[in-house]
Amino acid sequence: MKTSPRCVGYAGIALLAAIASLVHRPVLILGLAVLALATVESRKPWLTPKRLIYQTHVPRLDDALGLHFGAEVTVAQESAVAAEGEAGSRPPNFIVIFCDNLGYGDIQPFGSTLHRTPNLNRMAAEGRKFTHFCVTAGVCTPSRASLMTGCYSQRVGMHDNPRDGWVLRPVSRYGLNPDEITIAEVLKQCGYATAMIGKWHLGDQPMFLPTRQGFDYFFGVPYSDDMTARVWDVDGSTWPALPLMENDDVVEAPCDRDGLTKRYTERAMKWIAEHKDEPFFLYFPQAMPGSTKTPFSSERFKGKSNNGPWGDAIEELDWSMGVMLDQLRDLGIAENTLVIWTSDNGAPIQPDKSDLSRGSNLPLHGRGYTTSEGAFRVPTIAWKPGWIPAGTVCDQLATTMDLLPTFALLAGGSPPTDRTIDGHDIRSLLVDDNADSPYDAFYYYSQDQLQAVRSDRWKLFVPLSNPQRHPHYKAGESSGPLLFDVVQDIGCKHDVAQQHPQVLTRLMQLADRGRQDLGDRDDEGKRFPGAGQRRIGELPVGAEPLPQLLK
């Protein structure tokens, strides 16, 4: 049996602490601590099949021995780390609830007067709302790839593929490249139990499934709930009945979509209870409100809201959140669990904005599936009693890409260092009202076309000769630059490009930097790759994708 370097580090620290306590000599304590630090830091983490190349942090020796030699974190993060350290010696648990197509204005903490969400109200009152929290795409697959990898989907090749377009379809030969390092794999290196319960949508072939991407346990559907049995008119492929899977096996097909929220919640509660005594990461991507015109809900919620099936589904999601928060308290682990509620992109909405039967992104501009604020800015709440200040709001730009590096550092590890990670450490944004966004530029892509860039309060839509699914121009319509102050002009109603030429110039330069790194289309619509892009996962040559079928 192999012993990990981290285990050696823990044992060494315990031995040194015991010796120091017996001799009561500060000089010896300091010497032993320095010796231990040199010993542990000289060791490298054990390798996984993906060869994770990053250093795993060891417990701080000054904390273990009651001394203080100096900070090992930056000044900007020190208060956040100190406050987190006081919550307990065990690393925090992490839960991410990732709703499907939930709009910015769909829940009460973000302004809904139509949907009743008392549990989310409570979560916001006890935690922190993020009003400028963004995803990296207006659709499912690329958005989920960014959360998993801490990277723009363009960097990891998950923004587009020749067969499926911008979201993966059933029986596809493509998926998240197994060589990418996921948030689950990073946390497993730190000793975490990991589970994924809900909608995956990063590849339905065995090599792409959650159990091959760092998750100990998977229960859910491999793609969107609207991808049911049919012959796909694009390539003539046959899609199977929507499969419900447990780990690598189909356990029900077609799955009962009405019961998904309830069953996912029950399975999540069971898994949490089973792992309450160890650090855990639960990725909980809910299926609802989803991509169908009439979302699904269980009998208890069906027909009970004031907004038809969409409202029913959202109110059941709120119930699910309440059950989870209550269980964390009942198990005595609430103060050691960081919970993030967010969405994969904005709501599809109806052309008539007064018709909220397919969600609301108000007061933001635009619909899901585009590069509008309504597609990219999503309702987000962070909750960790005793650490995150209750009833507070963060108005700084942060994104789903930030979860991987932030969780890694909170867990006592660090992000991968052998590759580019686009996300940032946002520990300070979780607790500090005076912290600033770590982003100097954030990019808005529609598949492989860079359409906009944000820096600070400014969002620039770059000039395009042939925009794709543009929130301000029709297809084929040549577009000039548009500049919006997305803080003061939340609905993006006033173009101020002419009033701020220096801002326009600076953001155009940032856009150039982005397209050189992540690729773009030229004026004739021809794609050109970026220097920093990596490959999408694909089945080996000669291998054919197979449907996920009930056996």
Q: Which residues have a catalytic role annotated?
A: 140, 201
Beta strands in 226-279 (DSSP E): 230-231, 238-239, 244-246, 249-252
Query: Collapsing DSSP states into helix, strand and coil, what is residue 444?
Result: strand
Give the strands of the sheet with 449-455, arranged side by side: 442-446, 449-455, 458-461, 482-485
Closest CA to 158 of 189, 126, 136, 183: 136
In whole angstroms, give the CA distance from residue 71 to residue 228: 54
Closest CA to 438 of 400, 402, 384, 403: 402
In whole angstroms, give the CA distance from residue 526 to residue 152: 21
How many Cα atoms occupy the beta-carbon half-sphere of 468 within 13 Å? 20
In whole angstroms, give the CA distance from residue 377 to residue 124: 17
Residues paired with 217 in a beta bridge: 195
Q: How many residues does the chain have?
A: 551
In whole angstroms, give the CA distance from residue 132 to residue 487: 9
In whole angstroms, give the CA distance from residue 44 to residue 388: 33
| Tokens found for residue 519 | 């690729």
